[in-house]
Amino acid sequence: MARPREFDEEMVLEAMVQCFWSRGFEATSVRDLIEKTGLTSASLYNAFGDKRALYRKALDHYVERSIVDRIRRFEELPPREAIAAFFAEILERSFGDPQHRGCMLMNAALEAAPHDPDFQSIVAGALGRIEAFFHDCVKAGQADGVITRSLSAEDLARYLLGVLAGVRVMARVRPERALLEGAVGTALTLLEQSADEAVEQ
């Protein structure tokens, strides 16, 4: 009979996230993970696998706890408010991070995904969920008359995803409030219905 695990898996996963998020996949050593989690290398490997498997578990945990959770919380809001709230939380997380780590998902897209089809699939799937969230919000907002119909929901969703990626990457190197809020503010302004569209209704 297998012995029950003698550690809190949630806490260990969160510790691994913080370690990989701060250092990236290549720069994170097994010693770093041991120090951060408090487990031995044997315990880590027995529970999760090798370093690559540890990174995948950490990335999956980050996506679920950060991105999927954010979508669940905001998808019940009115469409334009949901998009604004999504970006507002991203900005506050960026400004509130003294390490300027950006987004672990975007970091993985730049570091791991180009060389590993498995990680490329994870990143693409998570970005697809964000794009779908934006698309659903835009589509609903266009139907309600609160979001412009001058561009398709598909194009606006892709544009918002691009703005998000840019903001998250820029937060690592130029975490300036005016710069990041300016980019987001312009994107939200683009969503506004024009006076001509309002008259047409």
pLDDT digits (tens, 9 = 90+) for 164-192: 999 999 999 999 999 999 999 999 999 99
pLDDT digits (tens, 9 = 90+) for 121-147: 999 999 999 999 999 999 999 999 999
What CATH number has the domain bearing residue 166? 1.10.357.10
Number of folded domains in the chain? 1
In a domain, 158, yes or no: yes
Angle at 148 between CA 142 and CA 153, to 5 degrees: 60
pLDDT band at 2 (very low <50, low <70, confident <90, very high): very low
In a domain, 100, yes or no: yes
Instruction: Measure the CA–CA gap between 127 and 133, rounded to whole angstroms.
Output: 10
In a domain, 96, yes or no: yes
- Two tokens at 29? 């050593």
Q: What pLDDT does residue 3 have?
A: 46
Q: Does residue 5 carry a pLDDT above 70?
A: no
pLDDT band at 200 (very low <50, low <70, confident <90, very high): low
In a domain, 1, yes or no: no
Instruction: Measure the CA–CA gap between 57 and 88, rounded to whole angstroms.
Output: 27
Q: What pLDDT does residue 112 have?
A: 84
In a domain, 4, yes or no: no
Instruction: Determine what percent of the chain is predicted with pLDDT higher than 90.
Output: 80
**Closest by alpha carbon to 141, among 190, 189, 191?**
191
Q: What pLDDT does residue 6 have?
A: 66
Q: Does residue 119 carry a pLDDT above 80?
A: yes
In a domain, 2, yes or no: no
Q: What is the residue-averaged pLDDT of the chain?
A: 91
In a domain, 44, yes or no: yes
Alpha helices in 6-68 (DSSP H): 9-23, 30-37, 41-48, 51-62
In a domain, 71, yes or no: yes
Which has the higher per-residue pLDDT, 201 or 132? Answer: 132
The residue range of the domain holding 183 is 9-200
